[in-house]
């Protein structure tokens, strides 16, 4: 079974802090994704990566950056956290073929005070 592990289930940070959310997958997947989920807005893609050191902006990349130095690890960085980044963050991974589903972690509930 694919395992996608997010480093924290709950996180509380202060406005202006630099925040790191970590995600690790154990299935040697090429693709990794970061989403945020807000009530009524579904899953919105922040960034995704299709290979080590490769990244592409998703629908809402403003205020975020990502890092993929190793194939199994994909980090989301909030450069200067703001209250409107309070949300549920979900990491996912998938194989390289388009008929392969994404496998999600259990999410990080991030609160910015």
Partner 1 sequence: DQQVKQNSPSLSVQEGRISILNCDYTNSMFDYFLWYKKYPAEGPTFLISISSIKDKNEDGRFTVFLNKSAKHLSLHIVPSQPGDSAVYFCAARPLNAGKSTFGDGTTLTVKP
Binding site for partner 1 (CB under 8 A): 4, 30-31, 33, 35, 40-45, 48, 50, 56, 58, 90, 92, 94, 96, 98-99, 101-107
> Minimum CB separation from partner 1 for residue 65, in Å?
18
Give 15 or 100: the residue with its C-beta nearer to partner 1.
Answer: 100
Give 14 or 57: the residue with its C-beta nearer to partner 1.
Answer: 57
- List all residues 6 or more positions away from 1 whose beta carbon is below 8 Å from its beta carbon: none
> Minimum CB separation from partner 1 for residue 104, in Å?
3
- Lookup: tokens for 30: 């090429």
Q: Indicate the DSSP class of residue 80.
A: S
> Minimum CB separation from partner 1 for residue 12, in Å?
17
**What 3-state DSSP class applies to 85?**
helix
- Lookup: tokens for 26: 């154990």
Give 75 or 103: the residue with its C-beta nearer to partner 1.
Answer: 103
DSSP string, 6-23: ES-SEEEE-TT--EEEEE
């Amino acid at each position: 079974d694919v395992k996608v592990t997010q480093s924290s289930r709950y996180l509380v940070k202060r406005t202006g802090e630099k925040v790191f959310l970590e995600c690790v997958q154990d299935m040697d997947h090429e693709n990794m994704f970061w989403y945020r989920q807000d009530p009524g807005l579904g899953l919105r893609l922040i960034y995704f990566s299709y290979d080590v050191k490769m990244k592409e902006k998703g629908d809402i990349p403003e205020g975020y950056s990502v890092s993929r130095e190793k194939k199994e690890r994909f980090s989301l960085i909030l450069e200067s956290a703001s209250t409107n980044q309070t949300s549920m963050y979900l990491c996912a991974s998938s194989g390289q073929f388009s008929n392969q589903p994404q496998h999600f972690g259990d999410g990080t509930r991030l609160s910015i005070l």
